[in-house]
Amino acid sequence: MQITETEATALIQNTTVVFGLLMTILGLVFYTSSLSNKYVKGFYNVIPPLLLCYFLPGLLNSFNIIDGANSPLTTIGSRYFLPACLILFVINLDLKEMWALRKRAGLMFITGTIGILLGGPLAVYLTSLVAPEVVGGTGPDEVWRGLGALAGSWIGGSANQVALKEILQPSPALFSSIIAVDVFVAYIWMAILLYGASKYKIVDKFFKADSQDVEHLKAKMDERVKVNSKIPETKDYMIMIALAFGGTGLATLLSEPVANFMATHYPETEKFSLTNTFFWLVFFATVFGIALSFTPAKKLEFAGASKIGTVLLYVLITTIGMQMDIMAILGNPGLFIVGFLWISFHALLLIIVAKLFKVPFFYLSVGSMANVGGVASASVMSAAFHPSLISVGVILSVFSYAIGTYAGWLTALLMKLASGV
């Protein structure tokens, strides 16, 4: 299989201009979605604002207006806005209520992992029957090597993907193509789930799901805020921003030496992502937010902590969306077919289990994104249902990082067998 790479210069390269463009998109979407015009309302009933905030930056990247893949805004989103919004969301955490969600959240997460682990080899085998050259190759260009790295990403996260890249040694050209498949297929799947989140009651009706636990938590949090809400003062906003970004700074300060310590003294823990600074950044930011939930800082939710968190989350969504490249599918359509078959099996298995056990769509979508998308995407997906549920996505994602390398390696071996190499 021949791998090709193309490069083009984006129309807008200035980071400040790109950021201004993304913020303008957010403003326009929120302004138009609040209009009372029946045609506008009809449009947003079909295309939810959250999905549009995600998809429009992807179109700008796809048509080479901006360069989302190489923009520093993607790093700023994941390293600044993600941990900051996690802290503001988790600050209102109710551990007792969250513990009640563990069984079905765990069920769908495990189902999603199995769907990726078995779906990859099945997709490779089916493709080999029709177009064996797509999943063939020799030496570093053996496609299973690149797909193995993709399995690390879809079960764990980017750290697991990089770890498996070092283990399996795919060629640079193959790995670049796999990155395109990863971003495009995963983000299309995320877009589908986000749309489903806006229609979750219809999906739950199809599953005959009992969603009392989720609805109870949402109602309890809303009632608590409604009863205790207050008009925020400048002081409240400053304290919220201080805790969010101060906590992000503290988490970053702790994450680097801890990751270096683990890499130096316990290098074998790399398989569990424990030598990765981003893993520890998310871990410490989450712990910081949980710790604050036991202090008077918890009352900041009544002044709008989750609303500030939501603003940061939407900025994060645009930086995630700007990495999607619809045109990438034209370069290596065969690999994208493998990717779509793979994610389809994952989705089908989740739907079957959700239907059998009457599991709400919330657990399906967050369990899937904790695998396929990682902590940022799982956080976005959780918040699409309710800000109080974001901790579910974070906890599942952290667990996915721990198993991603091992499970991805096993998936790679099964794909090697399926390809007949």
Any domain includes 159? yes
2 in a structural domain? no
3-state secondary structure of 152: helix
* pLDDT given at position 98: 65
232 near 303, Cβ under 8 Å? yes
Contact status, residue 395 vs residue 374, Cβ threshold 8 Å: no
Percent pLDDT > 90 in the chain is 39
pTM, whole model, 2 decimals? 0.74
Which one has a higher pLDDT value, 13 or 93?
A: 13
Q: What tens digit of pLDDT does each residue of 239-269 get?
A: 999 999 999 999 999 999 999 999 999 988 8
Q: Is residue 406 part of a domain?
A: yes
217 or 396: which leads in pLDDT: 396
Residue range 160-182, pLDDT digits in tens: 887 788 788 888 778 878 887 88
Averaged pLDDT of the chain: 86
Residue 141 lies in domain: 92-176+198-307+326-419
Q: In the numeric block, which tokens belong to residue 206?
A: 């199809």
Do the domain assignments include residue 14?
A: no
Indicate whether 67 belongs to any domain. no
The number of domains in the chain is: 1
What is the reported pLDDT for 154?
Answer: 94
The closest alpha carbon to 105, from 371, 401, 347, belongs to: 371
In eight-state DSSP terms, residue 66 is B
pLDDT tens digit sequence for 140-157: 889 999 999 999 989 987
For the ranges 1-5, 50-54, 246-250, 311-315, the one whose mean pLDDT is highest? 246-250
Q: For residue 4, what pLDDT is reported?
A: 44
Inter-residue contact 178 to 142 (CB < 8 Å): no
Q: Is residue 191 part of a domain?
A: no
Residue 55 confidence (pLDDT) above 90: no
Q: Is residue 7 part of a domain?
A: no
* Least confident range of 79-88, 121-130, 292-301, 318-327: 318-327
What's the pLDDT band for 375 if we cut at 50, 70, 90? Answer: confident
d(CA 319, CA 172): 25
Q: Residue 55 domain-assigned?
A: no
Which one has a higher pLDDT value, 282 or 97?
A: 282
Report whether pLDDT(351) > 90.
yes
